[in-house]
Amino acid sequence: MKTTSVLSAAALCLLASACADNIPSDPATGLTGTSALASARASATPDQETAISPNLASIAAKLGIVSADRQVLKAELLYAANAYSQSSPTLILAEDRARGIGAEWVKGDPRRGGRLGVSWSIVPLGGLPFVYDPSIPGSIRSATGAEVIARLQEGMQTWSNRSCSNAPVVAVEGEDADIIQALWLPMSFFTDNYGPDGAGILGITFSSVYGTPGNFTDIDGNGKADLAQAIIVYNGGVLWSDNGPFGTTDLYSVIAHESGHAFGLGHFGKVFVTKKDQQVDENGGISINVEDIKYAPKALMNAVYVMGRDEVTGTDNSSFCQMWSARK
């Protein structure tokens, strides 16, 4: 199965406290710690043929996404772009043309309660992210539960507000929701399961489908496997912000990107740098700056993230509408 690949993806850890494995809690909302979802699914065994790699299969097992009647079809990763060292006329960081992930939500699927659209909930497998505090320049604090909920709602609304569909997107409580926002896990979770490059993963969306390997269901006959559930996790070891300074990761744009995968969108677009943007340092090393990275098109669903990018462009809309325009 095709994976998204970038070279030497690096973490955006600016200060030691921003990269700590400890994830703080918000007593007012209880968004912290592990949930019944984690403990109830701890013994699940992934099928590595349907997970994207053995490393991600390991994560899928910990999240318990597979079961007797559903398997992981695809896991989409969003990488942070930092410095890369390769000399070539054009350095391709990502090039994808997958408008979808190969599976779609079935309108009125009886296995999901006959919903015309999708439901979503917050089920805290992790905690809250560290964020830059603009009120005290240079300071870092834990995001509040209210801030996180507002950004999660905004990210989901990015897609539910598309004019091509009025299929309902309903916020619910509990583990049976179609889309689960599982919050921020420590960076060690990503590096333990995906090696050093795990530090550069900002978020992962695991999409599971009904059926067993080689026998996925397609009850609406559209040639796509039937989505059963999507679970999203984010990297708590990077510094987050709301349109904060260079070197921070914007909450909304990453949440919206990963939520796009949960709705069925794939990575779409080319991310690259040209020869003239590659710089030679005093030791003869070749590197690039993130501000020199180019997009074709510059879209939310590109596979590599550069700080502060939050556009929903024509390709994002058209990809979504290919799947959802019939869900009126």
What single string gives the DSSP state of each residue in 24-85? Answer: ---TTTT--S--HHHHHTTT----TTTSSSHHHHHHHHHHT--BTTEEEEEEEEEEEP----
What value does the mean pLDDT of the chain take? 73
Three-state secondary structure call for residue 206: strand
**Weakest-pLDDT range from 51-55, 120-124, 137-141, 209-213:** 51-55
Sign for the pseudo-dihedral over CA of 112, 117, 123, 127? positive
Q: What's the pTM value of the predicted model, to 2 decimals?
A: 0.78
Angle between helices 54-63 and 187-194 (to 10 degrees): 140
Per-residue pLDDT at 232 exceeds 80? yes
- Range 154-158 average pLDDT: 92
Query: What is the per-residue pLDDT for 122?
Result: 94
For residues 75 and 223, which has the higher predicted lDDT (pLDDT)? 223
Quote the crossing angle between the two packed helices 251-262 and 145-160, to the nearest 10°.
50
Q: 23 near 184, Cβ under 8 Å?
A: yes
pLDDT for the residue numbered 8: 22
Instruction: Look at 87-96, 132-141, 241-250, 307-316 and tell me which has the smallest mean pLDDT.
Output: 87-96
Q: What's residue 278's pLDDT? A: 67
- The type of residue at 10 is A
Most confident range (mean pLDDT) of 27-36, 45-54, 232-241, 315-324 is 232-241
pLDDT, one tens digit per residue, over 75-131 is 777 766 654 445 456 666 666 666 678 889 999 999 999 999 999 999 988 899 999
Spatial distance between the Cα atoms of 187 and 200, rounded to a whole number of angstroms: 9
For the cut 80, the answer to whether the pLDDT of residue 64 exceeds it is no
Q: Which residue has the higher pLDDT, 46 or 300?
A: 300
Q: pLDDT > 90: what percent of the chain?
A: 27
At 264 the pLDDT is 92
